[in-house]
A = this chain, B = another copy of it.
Amino acid sequence: MIAAPAIQNLLEQLERLPGVGPKSAQRMAYWLLNTDRDTALNLASAIVEVKETVHFCSRCFNYAQEDVCEICGNTARDQGILCVVSEPRDIPPIERTAVFDGVYHVLGGALSPMEGIGPDDLHVAELLRRLSSETVREVVLATNPNVEGETTAAYLARLIKPLGITVTRLASGLPVGGDLEFADEVTLGRALEARLQL
């Protein structure tokens, strides 16, 4: 054992983070050792707070600290337009475009026959329940532009169109096969503005 056990343990925990290898973990660990006590402990508390207080929004399944998320709780948002995404992490990039002013519904994944993920594994029933109880005039299908996302969008379009609700899909412009999470604001903003009715 080269380093103190506490440092060794910190290195192991840091390496579990996505995109963090041994060298970045070492750089972070020494930074945490060197930095003042409060800065380091603030990071630790932020992690604890997120795990203790964040759960799913009871309406849209985004992450929330209250019963509903920040977006569902904002009465200024247009409740008549509902954007369907796969994961909570897909919401911030759409918000950053400042093009969309409606509300969201998080599916919690995408249809994938390969991985055995069917409609019952996603929040599809909850979506249909919202569409019958809320006054929604348009559903924007903003699932990822890859096979699973397209399959999910096609499946939802078939379910929702008979309800007399306009169903749209993000316009092309997104690189196909990519991840919505990492799209830049301009591309994603244009894709939102040029969304096509299905």
Contacts and interface: CB of A to CB of B under 8 A. Distances in A.
Number of copies: 2
Interface string A58-97: 0000011100011100000000000000011101100110
Secondary structure type dominating chain A contacts: helix
Interface residues of A, number: 58
22 contacts: A1-B70, A2-B96, A3-B91, A3-B92, A7-B50, A9-B49, A10-B46, A10-B50, A16-B39, A18-B28, A18-B31, A19-B24, A23-B182, A30-B87, A32-B51, A37-B51, A40-B47, A40-B50, A41-B47, A41-B48, A44-B44, A44-B47
Interface of A: 1-7, 9-10, 12-14, 16-20, 23-24, 26-33, 37, 39-51, 53-54, 63-65, 69-71, 87-89, 91-92, 95-96, 181-182
